[in-house]
Structure formats: structure tokens, C-alpha cells
Structure 1
Amino acid sequence: MTATNKLELIIEKSLSLPGVKVSREDFLTSVFSKRKDAAQLKEIVEKGPYGAGVTRKEIDNIAKSIIHKRTLTSTSISFGAGLPGGLAMAGTIPGDVIQFYGIAMRLAQELAYLYGHHDLWLEEHLDTERARDKIIVFLGVMFGVGGSTSAIKFLSSSLSKQVLKKLPQKALTKTVYYPIIKKIAGYIGVKLTKETFAEGLSKAIPVVGGVISGSITYSTMRPMGKRLAVTLSETLVMTDEEVKEEFYELRKEFPEIIDVEFEEIEDIEV
């Protein structure tokens, strides 16, 4: 099984788990209904928290709380999966790995919505492939895969739309996402092979195996969430110069994506 096929299987199986797909409106309502009045809540749903006047500091604090919650959830699930008779295998991928990525994807969506991204699952004429692509890039940031952070920062700016207007023959999902996703797939494929081997050994001793799985999950999920939260938080206050820096970082990492100079797209109306 190739790295790309393995990643596709992980995404497919994980997204099929209950609760992995997150409704933006439901999530924001649950987070802010006790913090804001009805009028403010409506504006948050319409414009996103930061656009509705919620401070960056408050958003960051909420993000920390969500990361802590999801970390505890993933740890308890991983412990159960490490015991005999735990989650069933999904092809050649252990069930607890599917659960881990499912929770990571849920966390990625929640953080994205908290920092102003649109609902991935309620867009007009929903493109499921594009939604999956965005989630994979979020995972890339969480795992620290080179180029993913610059991609999120740049694509969160209005200049990404300018690039599309400058390069009308190149579809965003194919030119920007594809090479990044290919790199992330390779990284996750290698990581998954190592994890699968390690977890297979740990489960040879049943109860200890569960503890080991839970410990590994806790030490992994929290920094993953923090890495994505920091990246998304920075997109809220990026200057034009910082956007320019991310543009060239992205082009340096993936020269096949963008072949124009920054100055060539600055004067195009969005």
C-alpha cells in the first residue's frame, strides 16, 4: 500500500467515525452560548469569532481548553484500544490509529472554525475532496510537515485569491494542495509504519500495552494541537510583509506550485 493510499484510507475510515465531522455553527454555538449574548453569538456565527470582535487572547485561551479536552479524549480511547479485544483492525491499520487520526481531524476542524475558517461541510455545492484536502493540510501543520504552515498562513490571506486570478488555468486544489498533500502522505505513511510496529509490541503485554498507547497519545496530541493553534492564531494578525514572507517560503518549498513573483500579484483586485 502506497503512502498516499494509506493516508486516503485513514481519512476515509476516520471521517466515518461518529462525531469526527464538525458543524461550524453547532460548534461555535456550543463554545460561545454561555460567553456571549444572543446578538453577539449571531455575529460570531456569521463573521467568525475574531471578525465579530472576540479578542485574539480570548480565542487563544478557548483553543487551549479545546486542545486539553481532545487530548484527554484521545488518551482514554487509546488506552481502551490497547487492551485485548479493543478496536477492530481497518485493513492493515490498527483501530486505535484510526481513532487517533479521527480525533486529530476533529480538533483541526474545531480550531479552524475558532480562528475564522468557513464550514467545510456546508459550503455551497460541497466539494468533499477539497474539504479533505484542507483537513490533511491542517494535519500537516499538526505534524510539523515542512511547507504546511506556510500554506495555511498564505492560503488564509486574500492574496491566495489573487494568485488564482493571476493563474486562472491552475486550480487551487491541484496546484497548491496536491504537492503538499503528497509530502504529508509520505510523512504520515512512514510515521504510521513505525507507530504500528511499536504498538504491536506494546500490546503483547495487554494492560501495560494500554498504558503505553495512552501515554504516547497524550504526548503526541497536545503539541500537535498547540502547533496548529499557534499557526491559526498568527494568521489573524499577519502583516503584508509577513504574508509576503510566507509566499516565498511556500514557493521555495514547492517551486512547482507558484511561478510568479509576489509583486506580480499585489496590484490585482480580490
Structure 2
Amino acid sequence: MDYALKESSTKFETILGTALKVPGVRVDREQFLLQTLGSKIKDGNIVNLAIETDPVTAGIPIDKLDKIANSLIKKRTTNTSMLSFAAGMPGGVTMAATIPADTLQFFGTAIKLAQELVYLYGYGEIGNANQLDEDIRRELTLYLGVMLGVEKSAAALRVLSTNISKQVVKRTSRRALSKTTLYPIVKKIGAIVGVKVTKASFAKNVSKAVPIVGGIVSGGTSYLSMKHMGHRLSETLSESIYYTDADYEKDFKEVCNEVVDVEFN
């Protein structure tokens, strides 16, 4: 990995670590499912089963989950657009010395939405008692990589995620990738996300030169970005429910090839 990517990786890790400390960014899986499914599903037994196992195992149709996902994306998209407008005005509050407030709130919203979507589609709790902080960050990096359209990140998510959906076909004959193999590709995904953040932040900072117009441009950019990001992840998660061994073999080869590229670049 060259110097520029290493610098971007470090910047992304700083943003991710800081965003995770912002109140309200972390999502409690049980409370989220109880509140979200409880308002959409009339049968309380199904809601309780979804919490104990996962929404798909509980028998909630995929098209129903997709509709709920769309409403969540719309809600978070609206929130980040409104917050970004305020942050896009000159003199916006900076929560960290090296991280603009709008960048921090945007990624905080993205992380929150990512957790909500993975819980909805059957993934387990992020940050359980058995997970180290670094493992949590790596998992979130995979989700954000998918949301930002980083190449191979969707394949990496399906193959490497420690919280892969219970609906994904699992065979004892499947080949495993060790954590030491996992780290390089996640590191590269984080670096690429860092590059995207740097470019986005630069564009937003230029737009702030004109007060009201700057706020509108910043809010509009956040709206479109969060909308596309949410749909990329929800579509990947929805499709993974029908994941087959053939799909796994294809993704496994992609990830292995990517690991080789990372090691030799």
C-alpha cells in the first residue's frame, strides 16, 4: 500500500473511531428490532422470535424487510440532509480538531444506518462481549465499503463477515480465511473509503464559501450520497439471504485475488 493510501487509511480510522464515540451512533439490536418490527408486525410472537433468532427465521417475508429497509434509509437520509445543511453554514461546530462537523455527523449517520440494516436482515449484535474493538471496526469498515461502492467490498462482506446472516448457506467443507488474511483487504477498503472522504470533504468545503448556497449544496450532496449508500448495503444484504455455495465460491476467489493484489502492491 503506497503512502497516500496509508495516510487515507489512518484518516478513515480516526473518523470511524471518533464517530463511534458520538452519542446515539451505536444501535442496540434488541431495542431496534422491538421498536422497528413492533410498529410493522402485528403478531408479537413473531417480533419476539425475530429478536431471539433473526427476522428471516421468524418468517418475515423478504419483500416486507425490503420495505422496512427503504423506510429506514429514507428516515436517515432526511436526518443527515437536515444536519448537513446546518453544518454547511460558515462557523459550523467542529467536534474534533481534524474532522469537520459535517463529515463526522455524516459518517455517524452512515454507521447508525449500517447497524440498523444488518440487524434487520438477520446479522447478530455488533460489539458483543466476544468481540474486540478492532474486530468491530473491521466489520463496520466492510459495511461502509459496501455503502460507498468500494470494489470487492460486497464480496468481502459476504465471505468474511463474522456476523454473516444465519440464512447464508454454510457447509463444513467451505474453506476458511484466517483473520490475518482478512486484515489486509479490510485495511485497503478503509484506505479507499478515506480517499473518498477526503474528496467529498474538499468539495463540501469549497461549497461553504457562499453561505446559504453552501448549506443547500452540502445538504443536497448528503441526501443523495446517503440514499445511494443505504440502498447499496440493503441490496447486498437482501441478496445474501439467497446466498448459495456457487455464490460463495465466486466471492471467495474474488477476495483471494484481492488479498494477493494487496500483498504485492
TM-score of the superposed pair, with normalisation by structure 1: 0.86
Structure 1 contact 138–152 (Cα < 8 Å) conserved? yes
**Aligned counterpart in structure 2 of residue 98 of structure 1, from 92, 95, 104:** 104
1:47 CA drift (Å): 1.0
**Aligned counterpart in structure 2 of residue 59 of structure 1, from 48, 56, 65:** 65
Residue type of the partner of 1:238? Y
> Who is 2:175 aligned against?
163
1:1-270 equivalences in 2 (<5 Å): 2-34=7-39, 35-88=41-94, 90-121=96-127, 123-155=128-160, 156=164, 157=168, 158=170, 162-164=174-176, 170=178, 172=179, 174-176=180-182, 178-255=183-260
Q: 1:19 to 1:89 in 2, by over 3 A?
A: closer
1:13 CA drift (Å): 1.3
Q: Which runs of 4+ in 1 moved over 4 A?
A: 159-162
Q: 1:160 to 1:204 in 2, by over 3 A?
A: farther
Paired with 1:95 and 1:160, the residues of 2 have a C-alpha distance of: 47
Q: CA RMSD in A?
A: 2.0
Superposed CA deviations along residues 191-211 of structure 1, whole A, max 9, x for unmatched, are 222222222221111111110
TM-score of the superposed pair, with normalisation by structure 2: 0.88
1:107 CA drift (Å): 0.5
Paired with 1:117 and 1:9, the residues of 2 have a C-alpha distance of: 26
Structure 1 contact 154–160 (Cα < 8 Å) conserved? no
Aligned length: 249
Structure 1 contact 93–196 (Cα < 8 Å) conserved? no
What SS class does the counterpart of residue 256 from structure 2 fall into? helix
Gaps (5+ residues) in structure 1?
Answer: 258-270
Gaps (5+ residues) in structure 2?
Answer: 1-5
Structure 1 contact 48–115 (Cα < 8 Å) conserved? yes
> Who is 1:267 aligned against?
none
